[in-house]
A and B are shown apart, each in its own frame.
Chain A
Amino acid sequence: MIEVEALTKRYGSTLAVDDLSFTVRPGLVTGFLGPNGAGKSTTMRMVVGLDHPTSGTATINGRPYAASPAPLREVGALIDAKDVHGGRSARNHLRAVARSNGLPDSRVDTVLGLTGLDAVAGRRIKGFSLGMGQRLGIATALLGDPGVVMFDEPVNGLDPEGILWIRNLLRGLAAEGRTVLVSSHLMSEMAQTADHLIVIGRGRLLADLSMTDFLEQNGRTHVQVKSPRQDDLAPLLRAAGGTVEPDHDVLAVHGLTCEQVGDIAAAHGLALHQLFEQRASLEAAFMDMTRDSVEYGSGSLPPPPDSALPPPPDSPDRPGATEVAP
């Protein structure tokens, strides 16, 4: 359990974290979101005692991290994968960290295997790619088999396979009852990983809610269905209580679930060529939420010319849209 209480951090004239309070509970993946400069990394650094709060407290399992009798057994943190001495090999780096907490060297092989780094363990960290460095950071965090895990943008630099792996890792860690806090800029990524959301902007708490609530409030979904007998299907769906709008050669159905649409079609012997749930853009909802607190706005650019075109009819991928498999 991570508890942050009225946490405030000021760097000179910059108020990086402003009276922030929240609790991260065990057994869940908690997503920590906010635009650039929102104060996510600063908050995480204060949780592990690297930065001292200007006021307020951050505790882990009820006490400041620095008071932990067995730090790495309690918390595994990946703050910045570049925070290592590049002149050492990955294995020696991990051994040094393990020894500092009296963990056996066998742990090093365990986490090297877990993160797929065995083959490069003898190489100097200096030559690592972004993704390899990120995996080493994760390996370091998992050395002590910690009950609390805190990752700052772990998918940064990872390939799609690595991103999927992280997602499963985080879900697995939470399922084992650990406390998992993970920061990200991407709401769509979090929507697939997190159970709970903490959103901050300009150092202040903007939202602290479950992912289900967030999706209910912001993820207006509708069903897209494609059928060679579209004209026969549409009245049946309307009769079942849905609102139906033809959209090129698909029907956009509001008010019915995928299951309902599929059952109605089957009951009437109508073939379906596509059936999926289309979710409103989570990124758009996230940007709405943080609009007033964006530190480094991008100014207003004219829209790229092709954004004026309608989306290709066969593609469920629209700009900014997220597909969720039914």
Chain B
Amino acid sequence: MTLPASPTANAASPFALDGPVHHPTTLDVVRSEWLKLRTVRSTFWTLAVTVVVMVGFSVLVCAAQVATWDQLTAEEQQANPINGVSSALAGLSLAQLAVVVLGVMVISSEYSTGGIRSTFTAVPRRARVVVGKAVVLGLSTLVVGLVASFVAFFVGQLILATKHFDVALGDPDVLRAVLGSGLYLAACSLFGLGIGLIVRNTGGGVTISVAALFVLPPLTALIPGTVGDQIQKFITSNAGQSVAATGSAPDRLGPWVGYLVFTVWWLVLIGVGTWLVRRRDV
């Protein structure tokens, strides 16, 4: 490799940067984080999995329901009526794991590669980095989550329409639930970011996030008494997913209350994570 001549004592610096000094802002960090997010492969893969899982499960579940409906007895049909929204959004509880992995990796991959030291050398105000990452991650997963949810919804309805079980966006709560599914996926990525900020490594972050969103919530239903009921309602994904459900259920928070509770969950995690990241050596 041949190197160009070095700057010499008398020549003007060959790399002088002219013009007034720009004082970088959080917006500059957002632009930097946006470029970083779209230039690593894990972003593409996790988002692709999110879409495939959402649409794939919609097809599988709706097709299976349509195919088996006629074989059920009248009592069985009455006990398990087809809900066009929940069938079409059946992939949500798996797709949430894909976005949560992305959220963890946005920060943990920088710690595992050492890239975090480049990042914090360039932007020593570490809270700005967290804000930048949260903004680009939240917006990207919101867009992809909405696309995945709407595609899953429409594909599901096409299949259900063969037996006239399809619902329309204009039906009560339906539009809110489909939008809510996208909103929930975005929130899950931020939940993962919060965990990632705290534990700093991919394996630990993914394990904890999966436990917190996927394993623990069903288990809380086993806690007896009214305290158990409350824990069950407020726990992570139980609260968050209520925004993507239709109809009301006694064991569930209202859609927006639930979403607000989940927002508090990830805000607290990111807050604690930011506090730790600022204190710790890198």
Contact = CB atoms under 8 A, between A and B. Distances in A.
Given A70-B23, A73-B17, A145-B16, A176 B117 contact: no
Contact of A101 (B114, B117, B122): B122
B122 A72 contact: yes
Contact of A50 (B4, B17, B121): B121
A59 B118 CA distance: 19
B282 interface: yes
Interface string B30-65: 011101100111100000000000000000000000
A140 B15 contact: no
Interface in A18-56: 45, 48-52
Contact of A95 (B22, B35, B40): B35
Interface in A82-116: 82-89, 92-93, 95-97, 99-103, 107, 110-111, 113-116
B226 interface: no
Given A71-B24, A99-B28, A110-B15, A85 B122 contact: no
A168 interface: yes
A79 to B, nearest CB: 6
A101 B22 contact: yes
Residue of B109, B114, B118, B122 most packed against chain A (CB within 10 A): B122
Given A99-B32, A172-B6, A144 B17 contact: yes
Interface in B221-239: none
Given A50-B120, A66-B124, A115 B3 contact: yes
A171 interface: yes
B40 to A, nearest CB: 5
B113 to A, nearest CB: 5
Given A49-B120, A77-B121, A96-B35, A101 B24 contact: yes
A111 B4 CA distance: 11
Contacts of B1: 116, 119, 131-132
A73 B113 CA distance: 25
Interface residues of B, number: 49
Contacts of A199: none
B114 A83 contact: yes
Contacts, number: 151
A247 to B, nearest CB: 38
Contacts of B5: 168
B8 interface: yes
A231 B202 CA distance: 76
Contacts of B17: 73, 103, 107, 144-145
Nearest to A88: B39
Main secondary structure of the interface of A (DSSP, over half): helix
A28 to B, nearest CB: 13
B32 A96 contact: yes
Contacts of A102: 22-25, 28
Contacts of B120: 49-50
Contact of B15 (A77, A82, A111): A111
A323 interface: no
Contact of B114 (A51, A52, A84, A165): A84
A119 B3 CA distance: 12
A176 B16 CA distance: 10
Given A172-B8, A175-B10, 19 more contacts: A50-B117, A50-B282, A52-B279, A70-B21, A72-B122, A79-B121, A82-B114, A85-B113, A86-B113, A97-B118, A100-B24, A100-B29, A101-B24, A102-B22, A102-B23, A132-B1, A161-B2, A168-B6, A169-B7
Interface of A: 45, 48-52, 65-66, 68-73, 77, 79-80, 82-89, 92-93, 95-97, 99-103, 107, 110-111, 113-116, 119, 131-132, 140, 142, 144-145, 161-162, 165, 168-169, 171-173, 175-176
20 contacts: A48-B124, A50-B281, A68-B124, A71-B122, A71-B124, A72-B122, A82-B114, A84-B118, A85-B40, A87-B109, A99-B35, A101-B123, A102-B22, A116-B1, A145-B17, A169-B6, A172-B7, A175-B9, A175-B10, A176-B9
7 closest A-B pairs (Cβ-Cβ)?
A: A172-B7, A168-B6, A145-B17, A175-B9, A100-B32, A85-B115, A83-B114
